[in-house]
Amino acid sequence: MKRYCPNLFSYTRRQSDPIRIGSHLVLGGDAPVVVQSMTTTNTADVEASARQVMRLAAAGAEMVRLTAPGRTEAERLLTIRRRIEEQECYVPLVADIHFNPQVALIAAQYVSKVRINPGNFIDRRATFKHLEYTDEEYAAELERLRVQLTALIEVCKYYNTVIRIGVNHGSLSDRIMSRYGDTTDGMVESAMEFLRVCRAEGYDRVVISMKSSNTRVMVEAYRKLVVRMDEEGMRYPLHLGVTEAGEGEDGRIRSAVGIGALLADGIGDTIRVSLTEAPENEIAPARILADYFKGREVHNYIPVDDDPLPYDPYNYSRRATTAVQHRGKTIGGGMPPVVVGDRAAGADFAPEDFPLTTPGQAMRGADREKGWIACTLEHLTYEFLEWLEKHPERILVLVSENVHWVGEIRACFVQLMRHGVANPVVVSRCYGEKSLERLQLHAAADFGALLIDGFGDGIWIVNEVFETIYDEDAQGKPVRTERDATPEFDLTSLSFSILQAARARISRTEIISCPGCGRTLFELQEAARAVKERFGHYPGLKIAVMGCIVNGPGEMADADFGYVGSGNGLVTLYKGKEVVERNIPQEGALERLEQLIRGTSG
């Protein structure tokens, strides 16, 4: 099986070719992961856009993207750049281009990087109808692509501008879907068509992204892209992101599941955490994620060979396990993963519901209550694995203290699968976080990386914080004591959010919402919050809230209903990909959406 990273159990960063963006920023190679964001202002408003760019730079953004839907906005990019440089702000600017190659030619003269979308750079807007292309017609379309892209490459060569080829699952072209369907293979081919033109033209200042609101799709697409690029000798840097991630806890966790699953394997040179919030709020979680994987190369050796793998990392499937009954609930056997936590908050089990035992006690028969067996990779000896095969009813709890936690827990699953052990597994990790945001991001990155590959019949998140207090006794001698300073975080809600973000267990409404940009013509953040408040109690229902039509119709394929901006204060409602009502004033759109949902649900 072809690899997307050198070793699944030994952390190393993917070696991309470094490129310079702007006067000082290096992306790729051995450079640290770069954090970026995007403005939400109208780019034609120079003063507002310049102020927001500077706020983002002050917050820690190392690149800032602005939308350029037309010539006016593209021309204003020069003025915005001059305005921020007057204030000694030199953060590289990126122009976001859709539908209009001519606008890209203008913007490329003024910014450090231009993002183009292969789904709509030269192809017309997707109709989502199956179109037939003969080989000759398909080749003619590729030639048209080459001509348009070559024109942009020539401008970028002259002005030393970088191109990001930004593929979005929600905006693949009809041409690509006619050959590959709405698939990750289609996403990869969409990128490769553009990359081959760049290489043929001797242009290597390229970055690629493969975004989706579905974390499984996003991770699978990046993995497949890395394999394809390796096959063709390409080492371009990668931009990671989960598009339309949402807001609040949900947005952060969904982003961390997708981005973290890739960073855990050393993939990714720059990241954006897209939130339906003020763009400044994106910087801190992105930096926390990037920093979480710093220094991971130095970890305890994991003595497991990753060839051959007993699972397919390019096609999702759950690890097959035995169904085991415990306190009236089923663990394993294809059932959704259980949550260990606070039963009053909805957890399936609480820690007091089961005694923990060791592999040694279990094999000796010394645990009369037949508790859950806590074990590490070191415990998975040939003797213990043989014993487990004879006792498929016993539940395992996998733990690790390795810095490369994902690698070691993954190695445990591989060992179990190679030996045909089908016991259900609950994965557990103990954190020591005082910050809820850090805990959310770290736990989502860790557990999400495993759930994406179908590993785990349950998750158990623990957070313990102890503080050391120095004092004096009655004789004036120094005394050191420890006290429990664990914050009261809702770990059960966090667990369910991670399972939902990884598509492992759906327990609430899924709100897919974009972060907004200069194209957004209605109050997106307010709308996303209102939709979540009103419809958050429909488990399994998916609603997409989109600021404009760039990805809107495509993301409808993954949603039951869509609420998409279509004009100044106007909204178009979708059911799946089909338009139900166009250009409704935003004031009444929520009520109409509720009528549609109630009508469907009866």
Strands 25-27 and 19-21: antiparallel
556: left (phi over 0), alpha (psi -120 to 50) or beta: alpha
CA distance 578 to 602: 20
- Residue 539 banded pLDDT, cuts 50, 70, 90: confident
Q: Which pLDDT belongs to residue 432?
A: 96
Over range 81-86, report the average pLDDT.
98
Report whether 430 belongs to an annotated binding site. no
Report whether 375 belongs to an annotated binding site. no
Q: Between 405 and 120, whose confidence is greater?
A: 405
Q: Which pLDDT belongs to residue 602?
A: 43
Each residue of 234-288: pLDDT tens digit?
Answer: 999 999 999 888 889 999 999 999 999 999 999 999 999 999 999 999 999 999 9
Residue 209 DSSP SS3: strand
Strand ranges for 10-137 from DSSP E: 19-21, 25-27, 34-38, 63-67, 93-97, 113-116
Strands 425-431 and 396-398: parallel
Strands 396-398 and 25-27: unpaired
Each residue of 189-239: pLDDT tens digit?
Answer: 999 999 999 999 999 999 999 999 999 999 999 999 999 999 999 999 999
DSSP conformational letter for 437:
H
Q: Which pLDDT belongs to residue 513?
A: 86
Over range 477-498, report the average pLDDT.
92
Over range 389-408, report the average pLDDT.
97
In the chain, % of residues over pLDDT 70: 97
Report whether 548 belongs to an annotated binding site. yes
- Residue 128 banded pLDDT, cuts 50, 70, 90: low
Q: Which pLDDT belongs to residue 555?
A: 58
CB proximity list for 526: less than 8 A, separation 6 or greater: none
CA distance 375 to 300: 17
Residue 267 DSSP SS3: coil
> Helices in 452-523 by DSSP H: which ranges?
491-501
Report whether 412 belongs to an annotated binding site. no
User: Which domains are present in the chain?
Assistant: 19-292 (3.20.20.20), 324-501 (no CATH), 510-601 (3.30.413.10)
Partner residues linked to 525 by β-bridges:
none
The length of the chain is: 602
Over range 112-132, report the average pLDDT.
81
Copy the structure tokens of residue 203: 């242009």
Q: Is the dihedral of CA 275, 276, 278, 279 positive or negative?
A: positive
Q: Which pLDDT belongs to residue 461?
A: 98
CA distance 47 to 209: 30
Over range 324-352, report the average pLDDT.
96
Of the candidates 560, 550, 566, 581, the residue with the CA atom closest to the CA atom of residue 512: 560
Q: What is the DSSP string of 221-245?
A: HHHHHHHHHHHTT----BEE--TTB
- Residue 129 banded pLDDT, cuts 50, 70, 90: low
Of the candidates 433, 543, 448, 489, the residue with the CA atom closest to the CA atom of residue 253: 448
First vs last C-alpha separation in the chain: 48
Q: Which pLDDT belongs to residue 567?
A: 79
The pTM score is 0.94
CA distance 465 to 97: 47
- Residue 525 banded pLDDT, cuts 50, 70, 90: confident
Over range 543-552, report the average pLDDT.
74
Q: Are 262 and 217 in contact (CB under 8 A)?
A: no
In the chain, % of residues over pLDDT 90: 74
Q: Which pLDDT belongs to residue 34?
A: 98
Q: Which pLDDT belongs to residue 125?
A: 59
Q: Are 501 and 478 in contact (CB under 8 A)?
A: no
Residue 65 DSSP SS3: strand
> Helices in 108-172 by DSSP H: which ranges?
135-159
Over range 365-389, report the average pLDDT.
93
Each residue of 135-179: pLDDT tens digit?
Answer: 999 999 999 999 999 999 999 999 999 999 999 998 899 899 989
